[in-house]
Amino acid sequence: MKSCIVKLRVSLVPGRVRVPVVKTVCVDDSDTDSEVEFMPEKLAEKIKKRMEKASAPAAGKKRKRTATVDEAPAPKKKKPATTTTTTTTPTTITQPALNRKGRIVDTNNASDAVLIAASLKASDDIYMSDDEPATTTDESSLYKNVVWGPEATNINYPGSTFPKSPQFSQFVPGRWERMPDSTLSDQKSKLVVKLTDKNGRKRIFKNPPPKDWNNQDAITALNKRTVQQIRRNTEVRFREVVKAYIPEERRWILNNLSAGKPQKGWKTFVKDFNTQFEGQTIPGADGPRPKRTHSSLTKEVERFGSDFYCKGKIPTAGSGKNSKSKAK
């Protein structure tokens, strides 16, 4: 199998997205049917839509996917540093070009099956053969033990890079992941996280593969662990810190609801809300107020509608159902 896949990555330049243009060339004796359908039309449609959206950052805040290459720390301009606090300097926010759904590969889908057949599995240098690898197979674990190879254990492995701002796209169910250029990538390669930490030290984290790549629980835990490794050692974050609703916002919500419902529909409600708060700096609040999405607002009302908004009250901090333990 002398096949080799040439992937032409498209750099997503915010503001001008050019989609896919794939080309998976299999240099092999077999002929390469260049007309293979690489992606279900429907999906392609969605991806396109998504990319458009992604490249049209809503004005205001929202850091777009910065060139998170292992480049300089990128000082970034910081805000007035209202209060001291952790001033975690604006971190690098990265996000995959395709959403979860778009990256999932369906083994039962004909065109996906074709892609899988044409794709190469990640190197054994990461860990030995998947088939007969595991030394031990701890029954209680969702993961299996593997014998890590040089790519995962040797800091000096040829070609290894240790970015200060590592890229990472969540693991999705299944061994394969669809890339922006619509080729497939073996998620095995994401099990080894290489980065240069805040202290300038090169690190390699080795996360054992799931026994079952389709087990969502295993995938979820794997994602949490990986994201945590990156979060603790770099400035990279995959999304903004969630900002809770503040009393002023909730007061507005209350005043604009009738029996728990928007008076003029959610669309207007969301627009008006953001016109009122997005980007505003409210005394006492931490930084400018974030833009709230339709999802966010409807969820807020759904959560506290019956117990608060419908009763003419606004939720108080920590009224969810826990009071958040502050000191312990």
Partner DNA sequence: CAATGTCGTCTAATCCCCGG
Partner DNA sequence: CCGGGGATTAGACGACATTG
Site membership for DNA, residue 295 (CB under 7 A): yes
Site membership for DNA, residue 313 (CB under 7 A): no
The backbone torsions φ and ψ at residue 93, rounded to the nearest 5 degrees and listed phi first, read -100, 125
Q: How far is the CB of 217 from DNA (least distance, A)?
A: 9
Give the closest residue to 236 by CA, choosing from 10, 73, 80, 81. 73
Beta strands in 40-114 (DSSP E): none
Q: How far is the CB of 179 from DNA (least distance, A)?
A: 16
Closer residue to DNA in complex, CB, 2/321: 321
What's the N-to-C CA distance of the chain in angstroms?
60
Q: How far is the CB of 321 from DNA (least distance, A)?
A: 5
Q: How far is the CB of 319 from DNA (least distance, A)?
A: 8
Q: How many Cβ atoms from other residues are within 10 Å of residue 254's Cβ?
A: 19
Closer residue to DNA in complex, CB, 211/225: 225
Task: Give the total of residues touching DNA (CB under 7 A).
Answer: 58
Site membership for DNA, residue 108 (CB under 7 A): no
The answer to whether 251 touches 314, Cβ cutoff 8 Å, is yes
β-pair type (25-26, 176-178) = unpaired
> What single-letter amino acid sits at 155?
I
Closer residue to DNA in complex, CB, 151/249: 249
Site membership for DNA, residue 74 (CB under 7 A): no
Tokens 């390699």 belong to 204
Q: Which residues contact 185 (CB under 8 A, 6 or more apart)?
A: 119, 176, 177, 178, 179
By CB under 7 A, name the binding residues for DNA: 86, 88, 99-102, 170-172, 203, 205, 207, 216, 219-221, 223-225, 227-229, 231-233, 237-239, 241-245, 262, 265-267, 290, 292-296, 298-300, 302-303, 318, 320-328
